[in-house]
Chains A and B, each alone.
Chain A
């Protein structure tokens, strides 16, 4: 017998999320162990992977959830990176303490960019963002005076007495890992919240969401600014490690947004897990096929071309990507407890509806 007085409650975490959550913590702990080690090659890989996890996750938050497909996110990479140069080389600030202000510069810049770019929709927005990124690149390139020294580039001055090379690699790897964990946590908490519910609604049907009271413009704005902050931070972290910076690569679409799109499409757009898996796979396979000892030796350019083709095949025939296909096959599969499961006495929420659904 069902009773209308049965109290309703909502269940978030499941056995799956608890198990996978523990696994995720173990993976992070293992990476922290490697980051704290003394192998600069491994530390470089960790920085690269973590930076791309951050920027791919943020691109996915924009494209996968709010429908803002931007091919100009390299604008915020470059802004974060050059803000780091200005704080570090120009004002002599500590490079690590310059990362946060550099990210804030990217955030501040994203506000007028949003006001401008949000006047465009769909493909026009995508191209518009690219144009904006190119404009910023050309402006930086023209600015030849110190400390920016646009043109063909400059180098971040890291005082070696403060940070010997080994220590810089170690610290940067740990910071990159921390940034990736923070970015993914922020995304997970955001998507779990009330705003996240509306972001998922906008992802599935923008028009329907505004018809149910969701202010789509406002939600997009919030996400755009958050993405700019983290993308800027990622750009700064990248160049603390790489030291050498050029406008053409810091603001390069094929250096940043092209691989990001490939990673997100392969991993699974519109999921939290997808970009992380996409970035990890992209780096693991790239290491394998481009290393000098491997049977198939590819240049980075050929690797991008081939993975780009693969992404096109996935986009055409397996639109949900790797993680999307997996979670479609196993609906209860999720690492982050975003879903809400309603339980109302014996009316709904026991195993009954799960059986009916299959």
Chain B
């Protein structure tokens, strides 16, 4: 296996606040990596830096072996890094189809009929095709999350970054979403998935990374990581 994402000694400060502290990890091609940790651990910040929303203070991020640390988000998206946001904010004035067409036309760099077909395929894979002509502002939360996923898929990602895509959904909806994500993973897309709903993660990911205070606590086999003392301490506290 080859490494597709490499986070190498990354530190991020917002003013005096140290959010990410010398973090290093990597994602192999075709792998699904779960990321857990308490609120404020720096999970979303890490994802945002991989997607290119902002650059790390120090350290390097590599994609397919290329240093992408200084590249803006739209360039990284075109290279193959797709992402969903924690709080879905679709283009509300556009229809579901038009939303996905943005990803296919720009991130996927498809033109004309090619873009249309990629968008239709992304909608079908996420079960959103029947809602294609609805304005995105009218969607329910589950539909918005599915739209996030179709938009990311329409950019032809090699790597998909999922930020709490299951948060706020009912158990039944989470189950549906898991099947969709499994399908995307099975098609060969590498995934980094931040999630608080651990049972959902355990059904999909090959490996787990636990973070706290912007540092790596432990990584390895998903069940092993969740059963480890490090993770238990963070979530349950230690006895003094």
Contacts and interface: CB of A to CB of B under 8 A. Distances in A.
B106 A212 contact: yes
A194 interface: yes
Interface in A321-358: 331, 339-342, 344, 347-349, 352-354, 356-357
Given A212-B155, A213-B155, A339-B95, A197 B132 contact: no
Contact of A204 (B91, B124, B133): B91
B102 A212 contact: yes
Interface stretch (B18-26, B107-115, B227-235): B107-115
Contacts of B72: 210, 215
A213 B93 contact: no
A26 to B, nearest CB: 29
A356 B135 CA distance: 12
Interface string A202-216: 011101111111111
B187 interface: no
A46 interface: no
Nearest to B93: A204
Interface residues of A, number: 37
A208 B133 contact: no
B117 interface: yes
Contacts of B91: 200-201, 203-205, 208-209
B7 interface: no
A8 interface: yes
A348 B105 contact: no
Contact of A353 (B108, B109, B133): B133
B160 interface: no
A342 B120 contact: yes
B205 interface: no
A182 to B, nearest CB: 26
Nearest to B156: A213
Given A201-B91, A210-B74, A213-B103, A353 B131 contact: yes
Interface residues of B, number: 44
A12 B91 CA distance: 19
B37 interface: no
B101 to A, nearest CB: 6
A344 B119 CA distance: 12
Contact of A341 (B109, B111, B133): B133
Interface in A7-35: 8-10
B15 to A, nearest CB: 19
B132 A213 contact: no
A213 B77 contact: yes
Interface string A174-206: 000000000000000000001001101101110
B62 interface: no
Given A8-B120, A210-B73, A213-B155, A342 B90 contact: no
Given A342-B133, A348-B133, A357-B138, A194 B105 contact: yes
B102 A201 contact: yes
A270 interface: yes
A216 B106 CA distance: 11
Nearest to B136: A204
Report which residue of B77, B116, B132, B154 has the largest number of chain A beta carbons within 10 angstroms of its beta carbon. Answer: B132
Contacts of B151: 212
Contact of A270 (B74, B93, B97, B130): B93
A349 B123 CA distance: 14
A219 to B, nearest CB: 10
A212 B90 CA distance: 11
B158 interface: no
B101 A209 contact: no
A339 B138 CA distance: 16
A349 B133 contact: yes
Contacts of B106: 198, 209, 212-215
B78 A213 contact: yes
B105 A354 contact: no
B19 to A, nearest CB: 19
Given A349-B132, A357-B133, 18 more contacts: A4-B124, A197-B101, A198-B102, A198-B105, A201-B99, A201-B102, A204-B91, A205-B89, A205-B92, A211-B85, A212-B151, A213-B77, A213-B102, A339-B95, A342-B132, A347-B129, A348-B130, A357-B138
Q: Give the 7 A-B CB pairs with smallest separation, nearest first.
A: A213-B107, A213-B106, A204-B91, A213-B77, A212-B103, A342-B97, A342-B132
27 contacts: A8-B120, A10-B116, A197-B98, A197-B105, A200-B93, A200-B98, A203-B91, A207-B89, A208-B90, A208-B91, A211-B73, A212-B102, A213-B103, A213-B155, A214-B74, A214-B102, A215-B72, A340-B98, A341-B133, A344-B129, A348-B129, A348-B130, A348-B132, A353-B130, A353-B131, A353-B133, A357-B133
